[in-house]
Structure 1
């Protein structure tokens, strides 16, 4: 089963720090973070934490995430942005680093 997971999970690893891709948190929470929770394999945790950190580059005041695909650099906190919060909560649970929970609660 693990080789089956590896075959597919690594195909989305390239999105972990892609600022043009709005669903980073959603993808990484339900792939690498969950795979770490199930298997305990550190390489999955590393990718999920890298993805959680990459979200900070898109964070604006008021917890809005930059949506690069909107015209004129508009930003909003839509459902896609809220899906990223789960990855920050997971990252906080793993590391206890306050920056993750602060991003969720401000």
Structure 2
């Protein structure tokens, strides 16, 4: 049970790290979206493709950022769900360990 507990806490730590990275990506893309909203139709958007800047359609770029935000948000939600599930499992194991310890001390 102890190794299972250690594996679960390690997995939980990894999930928290993933969630933090996703949150950073979400914030960065949100900033891009805010900048796009400030553009006029006459402004040109460029995308870095390898070493070159390639002109992009403004509408298409905005849609891509929106899709990326939706995807990242769904990944954050999925990760948070996994974190909650992992926390519940860890709490259950902690209770079992605590009960075992109490039983052993009374014997």
TM-score, L = length of structure 2: 0.33
Greater relative contact order: 1 or 2 (C-alpha under 8 angstroms, separation 6 or more)?
2
Larger Rg: 2
TM-score using structure 1 length: 0.33
More helix by share: 2
